[in-house]
Amino acid sequence: MVIRVEHEIHNRRLGRNIGVGLLLVGFIGIVFGLTVVKVLELGNAKQFETFDHVARPQIIPEGEGTE
C-alpha cells in the first residue's frame, strides 16, 4: 500500500517548474524565429556563407565575379 500525501510545497514546485519550462520554450521559439527570418531575408543561399563571415575566394567557382 502506497502512502501518497501531497504537501503544499509540491504544488508550488510544480507551478514553478511549469513556469520555467514555458520560459525555455519561449526562448527557443524566439531564437528559432530570428534564425528563420535571417535566412529568409537573405534570399540567395550563397549569401548566407558570407553574411556574417569573411568571404572565402577559394569557394567561389571560376568565372564568377563578386556580386
Residue pLDDT, tens place only, 17-47: 999 999 999 999 999 999 888 878 777 666 6
Question: Three-state DSSP class for 43?
Answer: coil
| Model pTM score | 0.55
pLDDT of residue 58: 72
Which contacts qualify for 11-14: CB closer than 8 Å, 24 or more apart? none
pLDDT of residue 35: 87
Q: Which of 13, 32, 36 is nearest to 24 (CA)?
A: 32
pLDDT at 16 over 90: yes
Distance CA 4, CA 6 (A): 7
- For the record, the C-alpha cell of 42 comes out as 537573405
pLDDT of residue 57: 72
Q: Could you say which DSSP state residue 30 is in?
A: H
